[in-house]
Amino acid sequence: MTREGVPFGSASLHLASGVRFLHEEETVFDGMIQGWSAQMKGGRGLKQSSVSGTVGRVRAFREFCGEWPWRWSAAMFDEWMVELVTRGLVLSTRRGYQQAIRSFCTYLCSPHYGWVAECEERFGEHPVQVSHEENTLRHLVDLEGSPGRRPLTRRELQMLLDRVDREVDLRLEQKRKGATLAYRDATMFKVLYGWGLRANEMCHLDTTDLLRTPHAPQFAGMGIVQVRMGKSSSGGAPKRRGVATVHQWAVDALQDYLDQVRPLMIKSTRPTNAIFVTERGTRMKPRDVSERFAYYRDELKLDDVLTPHALRHSYATHLAEDGVDPVFIKEQLGHAYQSTTAIYTGVSSDFKNKMMLDAVRRVVSGSREGES
């Protein structure tokens, strides 16, 4: 709401009521865009970059159909979708265009902002919703992610963790420099996988983000890892979530690092609460994590499509293979949609075969019971 109690985006705030304009249609459309932008930024708190991108999609549709919003129809929208498919836009991009048009039409049709009455008075027509469930892509597609993004197999994961652990041992045995950095790397990879975190989320972890929970006293002060810099959506602020601990070995690894290694890396002249720091004592960045991961990945001759994010995919996949409730996995990852979690889970052929055999046994068993 504005200070006068009028909602952000109201027609009365962005268009002089009762005044006729030289280029009336264009002026009203510009007023709609200004009002919608104000509603997204002031009312919904979206970032300017997100607002600009969304507005650009609406302008693109208007240019495509050559009509003003109060004359838009579902048929025009359908034709535009065909055009986007012809241009080769991927599903997620096309959905972004659809969501932009739906959001804009919802704003125009809302009685809170007065655009319906404004259009009826000026043009004898009013905007309608042209983006419906029947003509939009649902967020239910199994695999929309890049085919190159995949989880590590359990064997690959074990190879990686064994290699970084061996690096620590080698440096200690040979009394070479860098043992603390190697230990940090090993712990980072274990935390990424152990809690299914994004690299940026892990880099922003502070010691105060490790929380105790009475539901899992065995994990001491790490029953919950509080993520403060989760991936934002639609230009909003970073999302927070609490990730429940499920792996005791991950707790042991992180606790040992905090007790034995991190104190050696914190500079007295540059104190910080960051869990993972560079050799200079500054907070690690996702780029640093990617470089360290790539070093070990290439040395092991693993698939070069694998990135630190593959550890997050592996976390989701392995939980799914272990029979963990999909809803729990979704909440752990901080996803809004179950289909997004499905992108992360690429179960192995062995697991698929086991599921098939279990299904066959249940069907056969049911048939026999029916015959008896």
Residue 354, pLDDT above cutoff 50: yes
When the pLDDT of each residue in the chain is averaged and rounded to a whole number, the result is 84
| Mean pLDDT calculated for residue range 146-166 | 86
Which of 9-18, 98-107, 236-245 is predicted least confidently? 9-18
Q: Look at 18-32, 46-60, 339-353 and tell me which has the smallest mean pLDDT.
A: 339-353
Check if 295 is active-site: no
- CA atoms of 371 and 35, how far apart (whole Å): 68
Confidence band, pLDDT 50/70/90 cuts, at residue 177: confident
**Which one of 107, 183, 315, 344 is the catalytic residue?**
344
Confidence bin at 335 (pLDDT 50/70/90): confident
pLDDT of residue 233: 65
Please state the rounded mean pLDDT for residues 123-139: 76
Mean pLDDT of 39-57: 84
Strands 210-211 vs 239-244: parallel, antiparallel or unpaired: unpaired
Q: Is the pLDDT of residue 139 over 50?
A: no
Question: What is the per-residue pLDDT for 167?
Answer: 95
Q: What angle do CA 196, 202, 207 make, to 5 degrees?
A: 115
Where is pLDDT greater, at 119 or 349?
119
Per-residue pLDDT of 88-121, as tens digits, reads 888 778 888 998 999 999 999 998 888 999 899 9
Query: What band does 143 get if pLDDT is binned at 50, 70 and 90?
Result: very low
Alpha-carbon distance of 195 to 247, in angstroms, equals 8
Confidence of residue 350 (pLDDT cuts 50, 70, 90): low
- Say whether pLDDT at 361 is over 70: no
Q: Measuring CA to CA, which residue among 45, 36, 29 is closest to residue 10?
A: 36
Q: Which of 309, 313, 318, 330 is catalytic?
A: 309
- Report pTM: 0.60
Most confident of 85-99, 137-151, 275-289, 316-330: 275-289
pLDDT (0 to 100) of residue 343: 59
Of residues 57, 184, 198, 262, which has the active-site annotation? 198
Neighbours of 89 (CB within 10 A): 15
Least confident of 187-201, 268-282, 357-371: 357-371
Say whether 171 is catalytic.
no
Average pLDDT of the residues in 245-271: 92
Residue 145 has pLDDT above 50, yes or no: no
**154-355 CATH fold:** hpI Integrase; Chain A (1.10.443)
Structure token digits, residue 125: 């027509």
3-class DSSP assignment, residue 8: coil
Q: Bigger pLDDT: 134 or 322?
A: 322
190, 312, 313, 318: the active-site residue:
312
Determine the pLDDT at residue 262: 95
How confident is the model at residue 140, as a pLDDT? Answer: 36
Please state, as a whole number, how many other Cβ atoms lie within 10 Å of the Cβ of residue 2. Answer: 13
- Of all residues in the chain, what percent carry a pLDDT higher than 90? 49
Higher pLDDT, 299 or 176: 299
Q: Is 126 a catalytic residue?
A: no
pLDDT band at 3 (very low <50, low <70, confident <90, very high): very low
Res 215: pLDDT? 86
Exposed / middle / buried, residue 315 (Cβ in 10 Å: 0-12, 13-18, 19+): buried
In angstroms, rounded to a whole number, what is the distance separating the alpha carbons of residues 9 and 115? 10
> Which residue, 253, 282, 251, 250, is CA-closest to 266?
282
**Could you read off the pLDDT of 311-328 as tens digits, one per residue?**
999 999 898 888 888 888
Please indicate whether residue 312 is annotated as part of the active site: yes
> What is the model's pLDDT at position 371?
54
For every residue of 291-349, DSSP letters joined together read HHHHHHHHHTT--TT--THHHHHHHHHHHHHTT--HHHHHHHHT-SSHHHHHHH----H
Which pLDDT belongs to residue 223? 92
Q: Among 166, 231, 240, 362, which one carries the catalytic annotation? A: 231
**Tens digit of each residue's pLDDT (9 = 90 or more) over 203-213:** 999 999 999 98
